[in-house]
Amino acid sequence: MRLGIDLGGTKTEILAVGDDGLEWLRQRAPTPVHSYDEILAAIAALVQAAEEQIGTHGSVGVAIPGTISARTGFVKNANSTVLNGRPLDRDLETALKRPIRMANDANCFTLSEATDGAAAGRNVVFGVIAGTGVGGGVCVGGRLQEGPHRIAGEWGHNPLPAPRANEFPGPPCYCGRSGCIETWISGPALARDFGQRTGRSLSAAEIHRLAIAGDSAAMEVMEDFLDRLARAIGSVINILDPDAVVLGGGLSNLPGLADEVARRAEAYTFMPETPTLVVKNAFGDSSGVRGAAWLWRPEDVPSALPR
């Protein structure tokens, strides 16, 4: 049995997957956001409860909203800030008495979709998270490619490609630079762009609906958003030439987005003979917890699980 845990900003979810690939159990608990020790205890309690209910021990993979620094071994870049600077993977290994695997939640999303989701059977897969922030991940041959700095796929902090005069230098980003892709194609960026042009405060989904209904300001904002997204993905395609790009995050729910991106990105890639496959995710919000379980493949689940 494999256990996947998605440690989110407000909720922590556990999923148990049998060796047959079937989901045996899924449970959620609130994330204790203010205390690192309480987060450790909450994860341990979820694992213990799941194993008691099922009657066997499993491998444990964990998706986190950040990454383990390859240099320090501590969590960095987590928006659940009590995790930052802590050796979460080692502390969980001690608490759970077994080796565990841990990866960034965008990477787990990509692994889930590449394993048995919208990009199943594709060799090189680029997973896109576009929501509150913009992140991504890379899978090759069903394996995550994290890189020596564990930043593979972090395209959200590249500069927006081919900026127009009115897009330079671009909005300041929390990473310290200006004009990052994240400052142009996240949900808040879309809302900001619409707000600056109209003085109105609407969500991305509402702006999209207005554009479909023929509102000229919303149509202009969506046109610029789609063009920027296509430029950003086109530059990834030039470097990676993926077999599939899978769209995830809140913005992936905008109707027709994948087809629009596929069509437009072709214009920004280097003479492709056929368009790159761009698809919407298959598992939505479940991809984090599913990908966490897939961090251990059936053939490499550790034999030394606690008894």
Question: In the block, which residue shows the tokens 């606690």?
Answer: 306
- Please, what is the minimum distance in Å from the beta carbon of residue 177 to Zn ion? 5
Which residue stretch of 19-27, 51-59, 171-179, 268-276 sits at the interface with Zn ion (rule: CB under 5 A)?
171-179
Could you tell me where the beta strands, DSSP code E, fall in 57-190?
59-64, 67-68, 75-76, 100-104, 124-130, 134-140, 143-144
Q: Which is nearer to Zn ion, 50 or 180 (CB)?
A: 180
Note whether 138 binds Zn ion by CB under 5 A.
no
Strand order through the sheet with 134-140: 143-144, 134-140, 124-130, 244-248, 278-280
- Please, what is the minimum distance in Å from the beta carbon of residue 232 to Zn ion? 13
Residue 217 CB neighbours (<10 A): 15
- Provide the H-helix boundaries in 152-278: 182-185, 187-198, 204-212, 216-240, 257-265
- Please, what is the minimum distance in Å from the beta carbon of residue 133 to Zn ion? 9
Determine which residue in the list 175, 255, 256, 302 makes contact with Zn ion, applying CB under 5 A: 175
Note whether 173 binds Zn ion by CB under 5 A.
yes
Helix (H) / strand (E) containing 90: helix 88-96
Which residue stretch of 65-73, 149-157, 186-194, 225-233 sits at the interface with Zn ion (rule: CB under 5 A)?
149-157
Count of residues interacting with Zn ion (CB under 5 A) = 4
Exposed, middle or buried: residue 176 (CB in 10 Å: 0-12, 13-18, 19+)?
exposed
Note whether 49 binds Zn ion by CB under 5 A.
no
Residue 54 CB neighbours (<10 A): 15
Which residue stretch of 14-22, 95-103, 150-158, 271-279 sits at the interface with Zn ion (rule: CB under 5 A)?
150-158
Q: Which is nearer to Zn ion, 49 or 173 (CB)?
A: 173
Contact 9, 80 (CB under 8 A): yes
Which residue stretch of 20-28, 55-63, 155-163, 249-257 sits at the interface with Zn ion (rule: CB under 5 A)?
155-163
Q: State the Cα–Cα distance between residues 78 and 67, nearest whole angstrom.
A: 7
Which residue stretch of 132-140, 156-164, 220-228, 257-265 sits at the interface with Zn ion (rule: CB under 5 A)?
156-164
Q: State the Cα–Cα distance between residues 71 and 148, nearest whole angstrom.
A: 9
The pattern of x and - marking residues 200 through 229 that bind Zn ion according to CB under 5 A reads ------------------------------
- Please, what is the minimum distance in Å from the beta carbon of residue 159 to Zn ion? 9
Positions that interact with Zn ion (CB under 5 A): 157, 173, 175, 180
